[in-house]
């Protein structure tokens, strides 16, 4: 089994408050791995450490066997570790198609100087990015709004735009932070189908969500509570764990 992500003994303190207390887990290649826990469990802090927005007080993060604990967000993204956010982050003044074209930049090979000179290979690359953006719009159900300004779309469609932009660069690891938040039942069903397709295409997914229907996509689930992993296993295993029922499900 190839391990895409390895989190080792991650601890983080905010002004004396121990948010994470030695968290360790791994994410297998081509898997969907879930991370759940009550509000205040430390999920967002852990996600920010994995994606490079925070440095841990202790521990390390390995990606494809290499330590990336001190790598920048940009370098992680260019290496194929990409994330989305609880609040959709789109280029609000750009169209949906332009948002997706922007997501293709990591695939590009022409570089900044050639882009300024508008050389033939740059125009060829832009044409390919446009074609790929239009194809992705169709796959994500965004074809009807591809020429609309992304910032004016409803939250559900903005979430799809952000996800499509993250996925278009073919990341190795896609980290999704509450992707179904604010979505209706039909939108959640559509999102689940898209995530299945992305995973079937070879993309590994790390999923943070309170939505247990969405979490059913995960073969392995880690439960975080007060900065510690209190249970690991499949859906039925973690739901049966007494500490999970008490801390997360309120039973």
Q: Assess if residue 134 is contained within a domain.
A: yes
In-domain check, residue 85:
no
Domain total in the chain = 2
Query: pLDDT (tens digit, 9 = 90+) per residue, 44-101?
Result: 999 999 999 999 999 999 999 999 999 999 999 989 999 999 888 999 999 999 999 9
Query: Do 51 and 29 fall into the same domain?
Result: yes
Q: Tell me the residue range of the domain where 113 lies.
A: 90-170
Q: For residue 21, what pLDDT is reported?
A: 93
Same domain, 73 and 103: no
Per-residue pLDDT tens for 123-173? 778 888 899 999 999 999 999 999 999 999 999 899 999 999 999 989 999
Query: Which of these three, 142, 170, 198, is where a domain ends?
Result: 170
C-beta of residue 130 within 8 angstroms of C-beta of residue 97:
yes
12, part of any domain: yes
* Percent of the chain at pLDDT exceeding 90: 66
The whole-angstrom separation of Cα 68 and Cα 144 is: 39
Q: What is the CA radius of gyration of the chain?
A: 19
If asked whether residues 140 and 248 sit together in one domain, one would say no
**Unique residue bearing structure tokens 């953006």:** 133
Q: Residue 251 has what pLDDT?
A: 58
71 and 99 assigned to the same domain: no
For the stretch 28-57, what's the b/e string if a residue is b when 16 or more beta carbons lie within 10 angstroms of its beta carbon?
A: eebbbbbbbbbeebbbbbbbbbbbbebebe
pTM greater than 0.85? yes
């Amino acid at each position: 089994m190839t391990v895409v992500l390895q989190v080792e003994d991650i601890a983080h303190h905010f002004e004396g408050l121990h948010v994470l207390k030695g968290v360790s887990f791994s994410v297998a290649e081509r898997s969907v791995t879930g991370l759940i826990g009550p509000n205040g469990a430390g999920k967002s802090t852990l996600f920010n450490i994995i994606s490079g927005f925070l440095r841990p007080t202790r521990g390390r993060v390995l990606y494809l066997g290499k330590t990336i604990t001190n790598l920048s967000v940009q370098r992680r993204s260019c290496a194929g570790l990409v994330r989305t956010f609880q609040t959709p982050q789109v280029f609000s003044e750009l169209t949906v198609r332009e948002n997706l074209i922007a997501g293709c930049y990591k695939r590009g090979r022409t570089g900044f100087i050639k882009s300024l000179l508008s050389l033939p290979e740059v125009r060829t690359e832009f044409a390919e990015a446009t074609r790929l953006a239009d194809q992705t719009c169709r796959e994500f159900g965004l074809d009807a709004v591809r020429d609309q300004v992304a910032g004016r779309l409803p939250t559900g469609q903005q979430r799809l735009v952000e996800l499509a932009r993250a996925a278009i660069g073919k990341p190795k690891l896609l980290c999704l932070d509450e992707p179904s938040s604010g979505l209706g039942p039909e939108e959640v069903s559509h999102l689940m189908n898209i995530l299945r397709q992305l995973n079937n295409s070879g993309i590994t997914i790390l999923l943070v969500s309170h939505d247990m229907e969405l979490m059913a996509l995960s073969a392995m689930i880690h439960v975080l509570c007060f900065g510690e992993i209190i249970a690991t296993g499949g859906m039925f295993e973690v739901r049966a764990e007494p500490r999970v029922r008490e801390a997360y499900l309120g039973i």
